[in-house]
Each structure stands twice: as C-alpha cells, then as structure tokens.
A and B are shown apart, each in its own frame.
Chain A
Amino acid sequence: MTGLLRSVISRAYAESPNVLHVLYALQRQFLHISDEAVREVASHLELPTSQVDAVIEFYSFFHRIPRGRYDILFSNCTSCGYMAGGVNLMAVLGRQLEIVAGHTRGDGLVSMDQTSCIGMCDHGAALLVNGIPIVSLDVAMITRIAALVEAAMPLEDWPAEWFHVEDNIRVNGLLLKDDLPEDISLRAIFAHGAAGTLSEIIHSGLRGRGGAGFSTGMKWQLCREAQGDAHYIVCNADEGEPGTFKDRVLLHSYADRLFEGMTVCAFAIGAKQGYLYLRGEYRYLLPHLQTVLSRRRELGLLGGDILGQPGFSFDIDIVVGAGAYICGEESALIESLEGKRGIPRVRPPFPVTHGYLGQPTVVNNVETFIAAVHILRRGSAWFKAVGTEKSAGSKILSVSGDCAAPGIYEYPFGVTIRQVLDDCGAKNAQAVQVSGPSGTLINSAEFDRKLGFDDLSTGGSLMIFNQARDLLAVIVNFAHFFAHESCGFCTPCRVGTVLLKNGLDKIAGGHGTRYDLDEMQRIAALVKYRSHCGLGQTAANPILDGLQRFPQAFEQRLVHRDYEPHFDLDAALEEARQVSHRDDTAAHIE
C-alpha cells in the first residue's frame, strides 16, 4: 500500500507541485486521504503534516473518510439545486439507493451529499458524479441514475447526452461576437509597446468584471511599477458566486481569447508566468483548457519569444481548486495557489505589490482579460463608446431562475433590469438577486435600475424569482451558503454567519418573534461592517435587503408571543424518546 501511495504522490507531484493536485490524485485513487497518505504527502512535499491536514479539512472535495466509488454531489443553489419543481431530487435518490446525504453506503459503492452552486444554473437541477456534471435532472433521470449506480455501470457507458452542457448564449455583444482574426491583439501590442498597451487599457476605462470594478489599467500599472523578483498574472476562474456561470461558457468556448488576454497583460506588466485558477467544480473543463494551451505553445503564442518577439516569454499553468467559495477572493485565491488554506490576507499590502509568493501580481476575472483582448484589437475609443460614462463596455450576464430562456446575455452597461427580464422571458418576477447572494436583492419597483458600477454593480449573475417563489426560503438558502463557506478566520463572519443561519431557520420554521427579527438586523449589521473580507462584508446582504424590501416575507412567519424558546422543545426530546422507546402523548410537549 505504501508503495502505491508513494507512486501516486510522486507521479502527481511530477506533473504539478501544488499540494492541491497531489491531494486530488490521492482522493481520486483511494476515495479518501488516509493518515498514512497525509504523512507521505508531508514527507514528499516537505510540508508540516499539520499543513497537509489543514488543507484537506479546508476544501470540500477532500475527505479523510472514504467516499463511494460513485461520489454524487447535488448542487444546492436556488437555480441549479436539487429542489426541482417542489421535488427534492436528492431525497429521491437517497431513498432509491438507501443512502443518507453526507454518508457513504456500507458497501462503499456510492456516497451522496450536497455542495454549493456548481454553475449549471441555466440547465436546471444538476449534480456532479465523480466531478463530472450531469444537468437538467428530473425524477425519471434520478431513477435511471440509481439503477446505473446499482449496476456499477462505468460513467463512460452512461447516456452521453446527460453530460452535455450547452453554452446557451442568447444575446451577443462586444466580446461574444468575436469576429476578428485570431491573435490580432498580440500583433497590436508589439506595435504599441508595453507602455502603449497599458495606455490603451487605461484609456478604455475597463474596470474589473468580477464585480468590485477596480480600474484594470491602474491595476496593471501599479503591478508593472512594483519592484519584485518576478511579476505574476493570475486569472480568477473560481466562479463560485451562486447563479454565475458566464466563466464556464467563456472557458469552454472562448479559452483562446482568455489566454490571449493574459498574454497581453504579461506583455504590459513584464510577467513570465501566469496561472489560471480553475474552480474544482469546473475540473471537467481541464482537458479542453490543456489542449488549448498546448496548441498555443505549438503556434508560438506561448512560451519563449512569442511570435518571434525576442525576449517576450510567457506561459500559463492551471491550478484547480477543490471546493471553497472563499478562494474567489483574490488574496485567498493566492493562498490557495500557494498550496495553503484559502484564508484572505490582511490588506494592505495588496496583491499588485505583494501577491503570489510575495511578488507583484495581477489578479483579474476571466471576462476582464477577454475584454482587454478586444480593446487591443479595436482600440480604447471603440470600447469606451459603449456603456456609460463610469462603466465602459459591456457586461456578460448569467441569467437564471424563473424565466423562459436562462443563459448568457451580453449587454452594454446601463441596461435596465427590465430589459433583461423582457429578453429572457421572465413573467411575474417579484424579485431579482443581482450579482448573486453577495449582491443586491431588488423588488419589482426597482426594475428600471441600471447595471453598472454607478448603480447596480454586478459580477454577472441575475437570479430571477417570480411571484410563486417563497423568498424567505431563498434567503434561508443564501444564509446556509455563507455559513458553510465562511473560512472561519475572523469572529464576526465565523460566528455571525451561523447565528444568522440559525435565526433564519427559526423564523422559517414558524418559531420566530419580532425580537428575533430585531436580532437578525443587529447581527447582520455587525457581520457586514466588522468582517475581515468581502465574504463576511456581503454575507448579510440578502437578509438586510430582504428585511428592507420584503419585510412581509419574514413577518408573516412570526409568532406573536412575548417569549418563544430558541429551540423546539418537543424536537429536543426526540433523542430521549428514542432511548426510552416512548412515543406516547405524555412523552411530547405541545
């Protein structure tokens, strides 16, 4: 066993030295990472065993206890989650396979659990089986999946159409039209020179597409000017915000443009190495992305002396995450890239001066790099002519939820929510969650508000909820998400997100009072204003927005008593009833 362990570790390590990749290889081969494996990894990579342990426990896709040979993870997002048309598909599969969520079946054949949004929101209910997505689930498919698992049918022999993930591009714009010849931007940057390239990006008014909207040109310039042994470029493809899937489509169908954009940035800031940090949920895209990278190397678009330009060398490696939303935060992403737990760093200093390995680093969203390519191809004026004064260019939206045509929509900045709702066939919308749970929840009176950094800033997600939706259930879902994804570093977020989750569960369960609502407001404000990073600072947004715009969703569930216990007294007696084999009336509290 030790021999096999060591060979798996050394093979994985030779391919990529990142501890996440080594742990992935072990998880895949042995379905868990044993105590012995931890010690072997620590010794082979010369890391403390505690660091290996800490990394395993931090990421959702690594396990110390064996998973099944079929490891099934249902998304729990409100758009691609296991609740489909009021039916709990995870419970259905659980009954058919006689398995409880979070556990591995006794025979080791199958394990099942839920996981945060897997970015299949335009396809309805979705799951990952051994890391590969199956989309558009319904009860009939679940029944067939159960049978295939019981028959131990290899995944290659499962119906191929189940694994087919569509791009679903509904509206094309500046970036998605993509009708210019290959790699013209690289010729353009050589003509411009590094300073001229930077100047084009600055003049275009391009701002980061991840949602925060920092000036891309300024970021590149600060990084270029920062002193260091090396400069790095990191593409943040850790698209974890529930309801967001535009990067999935960009990585699938526009990977060349992305790598071209990273190359443009490398030229501008003087970097030789770039990294694509791909979320673990998108691992199925890895072979495709590797193929694109190989082809670009063969064409001389990556590697040494790119396109014959002497001294311009740049290459890109891909690092795959392992299930942690927090790694979308740029400094947590860098920590993860370095093979550590994804804990957001103290800022300042910022990554532009102290990023990967402490060196100047540009971290940008997938869409930002692609926008840079188009700016270099057509000029900053062309880009700036589109959008609004403060928000130049276009935004690619992931539209999901209650609409006829979920998918990818690209609009100039300044488009109204109403326009998007009309285009995607959303009828009777009561609310839209703009930019995912960390963004803004708006009501129908606000549908004329505009997307852009001056009004509704967005990383690209639009989740639509119609009149039939129970909005409180949506907000409860988001609260569970944040409590699950909090990294645990700072007190307000670590404890506060759990208090918010528990408080909402109490209200949704019909046990909340006015006092509980006031408490939620108070805790939410503390979490928002006192947390260490963007996760905590936005985790309470759905609750604060909900209380402000949809108070009736909370108030109609309240009980109007002066005192209501924190917990359900009768439910608390359940364990005692089981132990004493009683279930008579006297063993219950009304």
Chain B
Amino acid sequence: MIRQLTLNESDNMSADTKQNTITIDGQEIPFLAGQTIMDAALAAGVYIPHLCHRQGLTPHGSCKLCVVDIASKNASACTMPAVAGQQISNNTPALNEARTTITQMLFIEGNHICPSCEKCGDCTLQAMAYHLGMLDGHFPQFFQRREVDASHPTVMLDRDRCILCELCVRASREVDGKNVFEIAGRGTNARLIVNSASGKLVDSELETSDLAAHICPVGAILIKESGYKVPIGQRTFDLHKVSEIGLEKIVLTKVRQPDE
C-alpha cells in the first residue's frame, strides 16, 4: 500500500461557484480562488502537458512543460494563479514546439535507455515524447557520469534517468513526512542526493510504502524485484494517453483497468 496524496477540496469543482472564469484556447473554464491555471484546467478536463506537477503536492514550476501564453506573457500553468478574464493559449503549434524542445533537452541531458528501461511504457517522459510527436533527441547527448545507488534492499536509484523534477523530494516531505531526497549542485551538475549520513539510500528512512519510492515519473527510482511483472505492450501508456485526465493513480500503482 503506497502512501496516498490527499487532494484539497478545491480540486472538486462545484457548480455553484462558477462566477470566475479563465479562457484556455477559446474554452471558458471556471476556477475557485486560490487555484492555479493548472488546477482549473485539470478540473475542467483540459490537459496541459506537465512532468514536475502532481496535484496535492506543492507546485514546482521547474520542468517548464506546462508553459502557456497569457496574452503576450508566458507563465508556468502549475504555479500561476488563475485570475478572472485570463486569455490563455495552451495547445498551440508554437507552444508544443517549445515543449518538444524542452522534452528533447531532458532526454539528452540524462542517459535514457528506453528500450531496456524497466519503466518503459510506464514512463511519463517517454509518454510525453510520444504525445508531442518527438522523433529523436535532436541535440548531442551530454553523456554525463552519474552515480547509481543500489544499496537499498527494495528501492534503487539510477541518477542517469533523473530529470530533476523533485516529485520524490516533495512527496517525501509533504506526504511521507520524511526528508529523504534533496537536489545538490548547480546547473547541469545538479543531482539528486539522499539525506543520510553515508549519502546512501540504505541508510535513509525510505521505505517501500513511501510515496517517494513510487512517484518518480521516469526510471530513476525503481522498486526492486518487481521488474517486468507487467509485460511491455500492457503497460500504462500502452493502454492510456498521457493526456487523459486523472491518470496519476494508474501511473503510480500500475493498476490495470478491469478491461485490460
């Protein structure tokens, strides 16, 4: 049983509070005070691509996949508060081109080995690439040397595939009530580190039931001894589109749908 996110009430939009609206790609969308553009969009079933955002965790605004244009200015939908009357462009060729380039940047910065990665088919980065029609990494690979930490009995950490979204950092602090992960370093030397005297996962407080052990959108944090239980072809994104709303729970637990 994985520790669960508790979503705040504002995620459930009720019909009688629709006095305030924003407009996304011409579609009028209601919002409640305190909601971000992303909150409002997801509640209304409008997909804005994102990697570092997960409802229930503090918005981060780092991956920049959710960039939208508000009039002539641009903003991260996950951190920008919704303000009545905002005219927002989201699903446009120019924004999707920027998103494709950003996704390519994430691919070439790390060492992503999709065909042999256990996360293949359950990976949100990979799904995003398909969603955006990305055909290659385009840029020269950085080939950075990054450390693997296989010390923990049930969880492994392969920094080669980390995209620095900090979902694990936030999940550990905000849901698990621990503080297992942190980002160290600067620029492209930034890397995920572990809060323990030895710096190793085995000496940290991480447990298999922690949300932080499961929330990784890529193959950087993997649960040991569960590899390939679900065959390729029947994985989350073999059956679902990344743009489907409310997919988080399926991605997180790899729960199959009854008809699968």
A496 contacts chain B at the CB level, 8 A cutoff: yes
Given contacts A48-B179, A502-B140, contact A58 B185 (CB under 8 A): yes
**Residue interface bits B73-90, CB-to-A below 8 A is 1, else 0:** 010100101000000000
- Nearest A residue to B180 by beta-carbon distance? A50
Specify which chain A residues have a CB less than 8 angstroms from the CB of B49 in the assembled complex.
none
Q: Which of A289-297, A481-489, A556-564 contacts B (4 or more CB under 8 A)?
A: A481-489
Please pick, from B139, B181, B186, the residue contacting A324 in the complex, using a CB distance under 8 A: B186
Q: Does B2 contact A (CB under 8 A)?
A: no
A49 adjacent to B196 (CB under 8 Å): yes
Which of B55-63, B238-246, B250-258 is found at the contact surface with chain A? B55-63
Nearest A residue to B189, CB-CB: A488
How far does the alpha carbon of A484 sit from the alpha carbon of B60 in the complex, in Å? 23
The 0/1 profile, CB within 8 Å of B marked 1, for residues 24-67 of chain A is 00000000000000010000000011110110111000000000
Are A54 and B197 in touch, CB under 8 angstroms?
Answer: no
Looking at chain B, what size class is its interface with the partner chain? 35 or more
The 4 closest A-B pairs by CB, nearest first: A488-B190, A50-B195, A50-B182, A495-B105
| Residues of chain A within 8 A of B182, CB atoms compared | 48, 50-51, 53-54
Interface residue? A143 (CB, 8 A): no
User: With the chains together, A177 CA to B124 CA distance in Å?
Assistant: 61
Do A532 and B62 touch (CB < 8 A)? yes
- Closest residue of chain B to A326 (Cβ to Cβ) is B186
The CA-CA distance from A490 to B185 in the complex, in Å, is 13
- Across the interface, A530 reaches (CB within 8 A) one of B74, B108, B109, B181, namely B74
Contacts of A531 in B (CB 8 A): 64
Tell me the minimal C-beta distance from B144 to chain A in angstroms: 10
> How many Å lie between the Cα of A490 and that of B66 in the bound state?
12
Identify the B interface with A (CB < 8 A): 59-64, 67, 74, 76, 79, 81, 98, 101-102, 105-106, 108-109, 139-140, 142, 163-164, 179, 181-190, 193-197, 199
- B130 CB to nearest A CB, Å: 18
Partner of A50, one of B101, B186, B194: B194
- Taking a contact as CB atoms closer than 8 A, the residue among A486, A487, A492 that contacts B105 in the complex is A492
* Chain A CB within 10 A, most for which of B62, B63, B179: B62
Scoring B63, B184, B199 by chain A CB atoms within 10 A of each residue's CB, the highest score goes to B184
In this complex, how many residues of chain A approach chain B with their Cβ under 8 Å: the count is: 41
Contact B106–A495 (Cβ < 8 Å):
yes
Contact A499 B139 (CB under 8 A): yes
**Residue from B62, B139, B186 in contact with A486 in the complex, judged by beta carbons closer than 8 Å:** B186
Known: A49-B196, A50-B181. A487 touches B81 (CB 8 A): no
- B221–chain A nearest beta-carbon distance, Å: 15
- Structural contact, A490 and B140, CB atoms closer than 8 A: no
* B140 A57 Cβ-Cβ under 8 A: no
The answer for the CA separation of A485 and B79 in the assembled complex, in Å, is 24
Q: Quick one: given A53-B182, A346-B59, A502-B140, are A530 and B102 in contact (CB under 8 Å)? A: yes
The complex places the Cα of A424 from the Cα of B197 at a distance, in Å, of 56
Q: B67 contacts which chain A residues (CB < 8 A)?
A: 530
- Residues from chain A with a CB closer than 8 A to the CB of B189 are 57, 488
A-B contacts, 13 listed (Cβ < 8 Å): A50-B182, A50-B184, A54-B183, A54-B185, A56-B184, A57-B184, A346-B61, A346-B79, A489-B190, A491-B63, A491-B64, A495-B188, A522-B101
